[in-house]
Chains A and B, each alone.
Chain A
Amino acid sequence: MRNSLYSTALFVGLLTTTLLASPLVNAKGVFQSGPDFVAEVFAPQQSDSKVLWINDDIRQQAEKILGRPVMGLRVRYHQSAGKTAWILNEIGKEMPITIGVVIDQHSIASVKILAYRESRGGEVRYPAYMAQYQGATLTERYKLDKSIDGITGATLSVWAVNKVTALALYYHSQVNPKAAEPTKQPSK
């Protein structure tokens, strides 16, 4: 009798937990608007809204990073001092993922999924996962210099975030060129 009660309670508990957890698993939706993201990133200061014009060279490199054609003649970003915020879209499997990327002094300060429209793979948006990108910079081959862990079932979403973060770093380098490294003087 006692065992039966215990089993029933366990079953009800598991069922309730599953039902409560199901909205968390379904991570589809818009989580933050662009203006709210920018305000949060630069608070309490104000940022300037600027545009990066995509010339042929930039377009060519951006297309190499994304592996697809780039639309639009200009990309909007927000800047305050050496910190920039970019809101970019990239297709995960079939639908675009809107990703906010903050770059500070040529390395990633934070990454946030603002809108996720795929039916599966939404785990990429969890802050613990996004924290991996902090501090990543762009290598000479326009890849992230950090190894990012994959997520089973969300591989395409992870690739999309990797590409967008690399693209944001590249765009940042175009609007905030790195100071030229001092050239070594030939020894006399």
Chain B
Amino acid sequence: MKSTKSLKINIIWHRRLGLSVFLVLIFLAISGFALNHSPALKLNKIDLSSNWLLSWYGLEKPAINGFNLQGKWLYQDGNSLLYLDQKAVAPCSAPLRSSTTTADTIFALCADALLMLTEKGQLLESFTQLDGLPINAQAITRIEDRLYLLTDSAALEFNSDSLALTPEPNLDLALLAPQSTLAPLPELLEQQLEDSGPSISLETVILDLHSGRFFGQFGVLVIDIVGLLICILSITGLLAWINRLRQIKQ
């Protein structure tokens, strides 16, 4: 009699627990499957950039500014591409810090490389930090025929043919102010970049939903509780099965 009562209670709670977690459990199974096969499904290649999602993640579309180089606009799209007017010309890590020109070359100082371009925007060469570009390079400027790379505390003369950097300790840093400064892009170019800017991969969103992090600490706590309930569910299921076997034997 006692055994029948406990079996009933066990089954009632097993049903309640099952009902309370079944939706989440199905979602966890589907999202887990998707994450396991993420490379095949190319989830990391699908970028989401809707405004509400970006604001949920605390990201904002930055105002895109550029350098006006004698009528041509040099700018970075907020992701990893450098544009000259409407043409993507080279990879460039944000932010685009500085730019200057010589008679036949455009110089663009990105976060991790100094790019040298022809007037038409063809990439000549990139001078990266691995090649010797100082990590703290802030600007590139030109005085007459000479190019100078400005770091936090020093000016270095830059030879664009040999990529050699020579310290210029006697130069007054105040005289080496960059010739061009960032300015808002014309409306036409801004419209072209409507779809660019920060984005979040679908893989990241699914991973965050799967772990509960999408909803912050509260979401993580909920997933933890669901995990605990699934453990209890499996135990109550096992107990129900054992009790039923006992009853059949009796």
Contacts and interface: CB of A to CB of B under 8 A. Distances in A.
A71 B90 CA distance: 8
Nearest to B90: A71
A73 interface: yes
A47 to B, nearest CB: 11
A30 B130 contact: yes
Contact of A98 (B122, B124, B125, B130): B130
Contacts of B162: 49
B124 A74 contact: yes
A87 B161 CA distance: 17
Contacts of B90: 71
Contacts of B124: 72-74
Contacts of B122: 73
Interface residues of B, number: 14
A49 B163 contact: yes
A71 B163 contact: no
Given A49-B162, A49-B163, A73 B123 contact: yes
A51 B116 CA distance: 14
B82 to A, nearest CB: 12
Contacts of B123: 71-73
A146 interface: no
B130 A33 contact: yes
Contacts of B161: 51
A114 interface: yes
21 contacts: A30-B130, A33-B131, A33-B132, A34-B130, A34-B131, A49-B162, A49-B164, A51-B161, A71-B90, A71-B123, A72-B123, A72-B124, A72-B126, A73-B118, A73-B123, A76-B125, A76-B131, A87-B130, A87-B131, A98-B130, A115-B130
Interface of B: 90, 118, 122-126, 130-132, 161-164
Interface of A: 30, 33-35, 49, 51, 71-76, 87, 98, 114-115
Given A34-B131, A73-B118, 9 more contacts: A33-B130, A49-B163, A49-B164, A51-B125, A71-B123, A73-B125, A74-B125, A87-B131, A98-B130
